Structure 1
C-alpha cells in the first residue's frame, strides 16, 4: 500500500462523541466542516491519561442542518448541469466540528486521510481526491481549519467583513443612533479584535457607547451559575441605560446565550422596555433543543445583517423530499430528526421506547423557524455560492488544459489538479452568475465580493417568525435602507426609536460638550449673534452669506434688504425738505440784500464777499441733496468734493470778513499803516487763496483714489448698504481737516475781535456762527464713526445743514432784521457810532 507522508505525526485524544458524517462519492471531493452539534465539557482533572472512550454530553442545533443540506443540494444540481464539468462528478465528505477546536482538528484530519480509515499524516492509495473545503460557520472554526489546511494549500473562501461593519455604521448614522450599547461574545479573540479595530472607527463618525460588555461562552456546566449572575447584572445595566439600540457581536452560537437574556429579569421572560437589537451576519434566530419553547418576542423588530441571498424554489423542493429513509448516507439526519421532532427511532437492541416514536414522514415545514427554515438562509446561500465557485474554477481549469492540448476526461482532470494549490489561480479569477442571477467574483486579495442584506425580524408570540428585507450594503452600490418597511418593537408604538444620550439640539442652537462625559452627551446653547444653524445637533453655528442674515430664531438665512438714504422714506424726505427750505431762505436773504444793494448795512464789510458767502451757503444747502438717493458714479465723485470746496468758500468768506473787521478798526487809529491793507483786494485774495488749497486737495483726491459706488455687506446685520466708498479715507479727512482749520482760524480771529467798539459789531455774530460751526463738525466725527449704513449719510447731511444754518442765522439774521423791520437804523452814522 503506497502512502504519501503529509506532516509530522502527532497523537491526541478527544472525547468519544457520535461521529456525524455525510459522504457522497464522486470523481472529485469537496470537503465540508459543519457546526451541527456542540458539547459542553464537565470539569476534569487529568491526573492520568484519559481513556479514548471518554464520552461528553452534547446538544444539537437543528437549524444548522440546513447548511449540510445546502452543500448536498448544490452538488446534486451541479452534477445534473451538463454545462459545468460535463464529464466529472462531484462528491463531498462532511464532518461535524462540534464547535470545539479539538473536534475541528479531528474532522480536518479526516478530510485529509484515506476514506477507509483514519490515518493521520498519511494518504494511502491516493483515492481521496479532495479539491477544496467549505466551512466553517464560525470564525473560530475557520481559523482552526486553516491551521491544518494552509499546510496543504487547500483553497478557502472568506467574505470581506469590512463591508458589513461599514453597513452597520451607515445604519446607525441613517437613524442617527449615536448612543448605543455594545455586547460582545469573546471566546476566541475575535470579539476583542472587534472592540479594538471597529468601535474606534464608529467613534470617529460620532457614535458613543453607553456600555461595552464582554460575555464569555459557556464551556462547562460548572459555569452556569456564574453566567446567570453576570447575566443578571448585564440585564439591569442594559435596562437602566438610555440607549435603545444594542449592537450584539458574536458567532452563530451567540444566539443561544442571547436567548437567556429575558430570563435574567426578575419577572421573566419580559423586558420593561423595548430594545432594537442589531446583529452581525454570523447570527441567526436559532434555538437549542432545550430552548424550543422559549420566548422569542423580544427579538421582534431586530435588525440583522445577513449575507446577500435570494430564494431558490428548487432548494425548498429538495428539502421537502428529505427524510431518514431516503438518505442512508446522511449521518446527521437521524439525530436531527429526533431532536427537531422530539421523537425516538426504534432500536432493536433496546426494549420498549419511551416517548414519541419517529415515523420518518414528519413534515419539516411544521417546525418552528428557530429550529428549521425551508427557505435558504444567508449562511446556506454562502455555501451554495462557494460550491458553485469551486465547480466553475474546475471547469475553467479543464477548459484551459483542453485549449493547450492537455488530457481531458475524468482521469485526466483528477491528475491535473495535483497538487491542490493549482486550483487557487482559477478560483481567484472566477466570475459567474449563479442560478438566481447574482454575480459571484473575487477581488485582487482573493476575498469574495459580496454584500449583506439588512433583515428586519418579525416575531410573534406563537413562535411565528419571518424575515423582511429592508435594505442592503454592497461594495459596489453602497448602503440603502427603507425605514418605512421596518416593523419596530411594540414598545416604540411603531415610531422610529431614538437612541441618544441627550435630546437633539434644535436648529438655532449648537452643541456644547459636557466636560468629563462622552462627546454624545452635551448641552444645547443658542447660536451667537450673526450666526445660524439650520440642522439639528450642529457642532458649531455658521455664518450666512454676505447677502443674507439669520432670522429671529437663527435657524435659517433670509435675504438682506437693499438700504440707502432714499427720497421715498421719511428720513430722506425730511432732510431733502430741510435742504430745500434752507436753500429757499438763503435765496430770499440774497434777494433782500440785492434789493437793498446800496444801503449801508449791505455795503458794510465788503458787499461782494457777502454775496459770495450767501451764494456758497445756498450751494451748501443744495449739495446736501447729492447725499440722498441711490449712489451713482457721478454723485459719488461730487458728494464730498463739492461739499468740501463749497464749504471752504463759505468759511474763507467768513475769515475774510473777520480779518476785514479787525483791519478796519486798526486802520481808524491815527497814523496807522493798516489803511493800505483795507480793501477788496485783500478780501478777494484771502477767499481765492484759501479756496485754491481745498481745490488742490480735491483734485489730488480725484486723481489718486476717487470715491466710487460700493456695497457694504457687513456694517448692518440685516441690510446690504449701497454707499459711496470714499476711496482714500486719508484724503477725505484731509479735506475735512482743512475746512476745520479755516473754521478754527475764523473763530479765533472773530473771538478776539468780538469786543471792538461798534454799534453793529459783525465780529460778534461771526464768533457765534463759527462757534456753532465748530461744535457741529467736532461732534460730527465721533457720531459719523459710530453710526452705520444710511445713517452715516444722514449724520453728514445734518451736519451740513446745521453748520450752514448756523452761519446763515448768526451772520445774516441781525442784518435782515434791521433791513426789514428797523430801516431807520440802516444808516452810516449808526454803524460807525462809538458806543462809548
Structure 2
C-alpha cells in the first residue's frame, strides 16, 4: 500500500523499532524509553577545503538528570571560524526602560528599542508596551521602576516662604506706623486737606492687604482656600475705592470753588463714604456669587512638577476669579484716569500726582501678573500672586503716604496754615486770570 498523507506516514512510523549498527535498540515511539546513546557532532570546514565531523558532546538517556546532556562549548566552531553563538534574531534585546518598536517591512524578530514615554516604565527585557506609573509615583531616570512623589507646598519654614512672610509682616507694621503718624498729626493741614477718614480707611485696608498674603503660605485647607481670594479681593477693592473717592473729592473741590457752581452740594464726607461702600459692596456681591456657585477648594496637583505632588488651591471658577480681578482693575483704571487729568490742579496739598504714580505702579504690577500667572505652574503660581500683592500694596503706600510723612516729620515748615493760605491765594489768582481772559474774549467777539 502506498502512503501519501503525513498522518498516515506518522502512524506507520509510530511503532517502529530497530537496532542500529552498534546494536542498540532504537524506538521511534516517543512514549517509550530509548536505550540508545547519541553523539553530538560539529561539522567543520578547514581552510584547505577539507571537512570533518568533530564530537562536541553527547546525549545519554540513562544518565542521571543534569548529566544526560553534555556539550563542550569551547570545542564548537560556528560558521567560518567564529566561536560566538549566532543570534536567532536580527535585533538586540531591549533592556528595562525600553520597549520594542517593530520595523516596517521587516520580519517580526527585527525591531528598534525606544525609550518609554514620559511617565511610563518597563520592568522586563523586550517589553512590547510600557506601563504608566500611578498618580502618586513617578519614573526614575532609567524608567525601569516607579518612585513615590514628594508632597510639597509653599511652607512657612522654607526660606522663600519665610522671606515672603517677613516682608508681609514688615510692610503691615510700616503701614500701621504711618497710620499712627496720621492719627497723631490729625489736626495738621496736610492730613486735614486730604480727607482724614479716607486716609485712615486706605491705611487700614493696606494693612490687611499685606497680611492677607499670609493666607497663601502654608498647607492649603478648605478654609484658607475660601478665604484667601475673597479677603484679598475685598480689602484691595476697599483700598482702590478709597483712592477713587480721594480722586473724585480732589476734582469736586476744584470745581466747587467756581462762582455759582452747583457741585458744592457734593463736597460732603458722606459722598466719599458712599463711593467706598458702593464699590466695595459690588465686589462683596461678586465674591458671594463665586462662593455660592463654584468656590475654591484644595487639590493635589500631580502633573505640574515631576517627582512632586503640589498641594494648592483650585480657584473653582476661573471666570469668577478673573471677573473679581477685572472689577478691581476697572476701579484702578478709573482712579488713574481721573487722577491723571487732575494732576496739575492748583488745589491745596493736591495729591493727584501721588495717586497717579501709585495707580501707575498698581496697574503695571497686575498687568504683569496676568500673563505670568497663566504661564507658571505648581508652587510658583502662589509665589507670583504673593509678590503681586506685596508689590502693588507697597506701591500704594510708598507713592501716596511716604511723601506726606516726609513733610509731617521732616519738613514741618511746609505743613502750616500759611503754606495753605499761599496755595489758596495762588489758586484764586489762576481763577481770576482765567475769568478775565474769558471776559476779554467775549468783548473781542462783540467788537468784531
- Could you tell me the TM-score, scaled by structure 2's length? 0.81
Greater C-alpha radius of gyration: 1
Compared CA separation, residues 462 and 637, structure 1 to 2 (3 A): closer
**Which of 112, 116, 139 is the aligned partner of 2:7?**
139
Distance in 1 of aligned mates of 2:32 and 2:126: 41
Alignment-derived partner of residue 315 in structure 2: 726
User: Which residue of the partner structure matches residue 466 of structure 1?
Assistant: 60
The aligned residue for residue 80 of structure 2 is none
Query: Which residue is equivalent to 2:118?
Result: 529
Report matched runs for 1:556-575 at 5 Å. Answer: 556-575=145-164
Confirm or deny that 1:648 pairs with 2:237.
yes
| Alpha-carbon separation, structure 2, partners of 1:803 and 1:462 | 87
Shift of 1:600: 1.1
1:564, distance to aligned residue in structure 2 (A): 0.8
What's the counterpart of residue 490 of structure 1?
Answer: 73
Are 2:257 and 1:668 aligned? yes
Say if 2:280 is the partner of 1:694.
no
Q: Which of 728, 752, 775 is the aligned partner of 2:364?
A: 775
> What's the secondary structure of 1:525's corresponding residue?
strand
CA contact (8 A) 2:300 2:309 kept: yes
Give the match for residue 328 of structure 2. 739
Higher helix residue share: 2
Asked if the contact 2:171/2:394 (under 8 Å) is kept, the reply is: yes
Deviation at 1:567, TM superposition (A): 0.7
TM-score of the pair, normalised by structure 1: 0.45
Secondary structure in 1 matching 2:401: helix
The answer to which of 518-527 and 594-603 deviates more is 518-527
The answer to whether 1:372 aligns with 2:25 is: yes
- Cα deviation for residue 508 of structure 1 reads 2.6
Q: Are the equivalent residues in 2 in contact too, given 1:458–1:467 (CA < 8 A)?
A: no
Contact kept in structure 2, 1:512 and 1:524, CA below 8 Å: yes
Q: Deviations over 1:574-610 (max 9, x none)?
A: 1111101111111111111111121111112210110
Q: 1:521 to 1:457 in 2, by over 3 A?
A: farther
| Alignment map for 1:129-168 (pairs within 5 Å) | 139-142=7-10
> How much does 1:468 deviate?
8.5
- 1:705-720 equivalent positions in 2, closer than 5 A: 705-720=294-309
Indicate the SS of the match to 1:340: coil
In the TM superposition, what whole-angstrom CA distance separates every residue of 1:165-223 from its partner, at most 9, and x where no partner exists? xxxxxxxxxxxxxxxxxxxxxxxxxxxxxxxxxxxxxxxxxxxxxxxxxxxxxxxxxxx
Indicate the residue corresponding to 1:389 in structure 2.
none
TM-aligned CA deviation for residue 730 of structure 1: 1.6
How big is the shift at 1:513? Answer: 2.5
Evaluate the alpha carbon distance shift between residue 586 and residue 487 of structure 1 in structure 2; reply closer, same or farther with a 3 A threshold.
farther
- Separation in structure 2 between the aligned mates of residue 766 and residue 485 of structure 1, nearest angstrom: 100
Structure-1 separation of matches of 2:64 and 2:303: 50
Judge conservation of contact 1:458–1:487 (CA < 8 Å) in 2. no
Alpha carbons of structure 1 residues 380 and 558: separation in structure 2 relative to 1, 3 Å: closer
Aligned: 1:340 with 2:24? no
* Superposition RMSD in Å: 3.4
Instruction: Map 1:127-526 onto structure 2 (within 5 A).
Output: 139-142=7-10, 340=21, 367=23, 371-372=24-25, 379=30, 381=32, 459=40, 461=55, 465-467=59-61, 490=73, 499-526=88-115
2:212 pairs with 1:623: yes
Report the secondary structure of 2:175's partner residue. helix
| Cα gap change, 1:514 to 1:825, in 2 (>3 Å) | same
For the 8 Å contact 2:193–2:349, the answer to whether it is kept is no
- Helix, strand or coil: the match of 2:168? helix
Q: Given the alignment of the two structures, is residue 817 of structure 1 paired with residue 406 of structure 2, yes or no? A: yes
The question of whether the paired residues in 2 share the 8 Å contact of 1:633 and 1:708 is answered with: yes
- Is contact 2:99-2:116 (8 Å) kept? yes
Tell me how far 1:565 sits from its aligned partner.
0.6
Which of residues 751, 756, 761 is equivalent to 2:345?
A: 756
- Cα offset, 1:463, TM superposition: 8.0
**1:720 partner SS:** strand
Q: Distance in 1 between matches of 2:296 and 2:244?
A: 29
Secondary structure of 1:518's counterpart equals: coil
**Tell me, what secondary structure is at the counterpart of 1:500?**
coil
Q: CA separation in 2, counterparts of 1:526 and 1:492?
A: 39
- Structure 1 residue runs without a partner (length 5+): 1-100, 106-135, 146-251, 253-281, 285-331, 342-366, 384-455, 472-481
SS in 2 for 1:665: helix
Q: Secondary structure at the match of 2:344?
A: coil
Q: Deviations over 1:42-99 (max 9, x none)?
A: xxxxxxxxxxxxxxxxxxxxxxxxxxxxxxxxxxxxxxxxxxxxxxxxxxxxxxxxxx
Q: CA deviation at 1:747?
A: 0.9
1:505 counterpart SS class: coil
Distance of 1:468 and 1:694 partners within structure 2 = 95
1:581 aligns with 2:170: yes
Give the superposition deviation at 1:743: 0.8
Deviation at 1:679, TM superposition (A): 1.7
Assess, with a 3 A threshold, how the Cα gap between structure 1 residues 612 and 469 changes in structure 2: closer, same or farther. Answer: farther
Which deviations, in whole Å up to 9, do the C-alpha atoms of 1:642-686 show, x marking residues without a partner?
Answer: 001010100000000010111111111222111110121110000
SS at match of 2:90: coil
1:488, 1:496 within 8 Å by CA — same for their partners in 2?
no
Indicate yes or no: 2:376 matched with 1:787.
yes
1:531 Cα deviation from its structure 2 partner? 3.2
Pick closer, same or farther for the CA change 1:672–1:486 going to 2, 3 Å: farther
Name the structure 2 match of 1:591.
180
| Structure 1 residues 813 and 571, CA gap change in structure 2 (3 angstroms) | same
Counting matched residue pairs gives 404
Distance 1:496 1:802 in 2: 72
The change in CA–CA distance for 1:457 and 1:584 in structure 2 (over 3 A counts) is: farther
Return closer, same or farther for 1:499/1:748 CA change in 2, 3 Å cut-off.
Answer: same
Please tell me whether the aligned partners of residues 186 and 192 of structure 2 are also in contact (alpha carbons under 8 angstroms).
yes
Q: Distance in 1 between matches of 2:283 and 2:192?
A: 28
Tell me, in whole angstroms, the C-alpha distance in 2 between the residues paired with 1:777 and 1:550: 38
Could you say if the C-alpha distance between residues 379 and 552 of structure 1 is closer, same or farther in structure 2, counting changes exceeding 3 Å? closer
| Structure 2, unaligned runs of 5 or more | 42-54, 77-83, 431-448
Matches within 5 A, 1:1-80: none
Q: CA deviation at 1:821?
A: 0.7
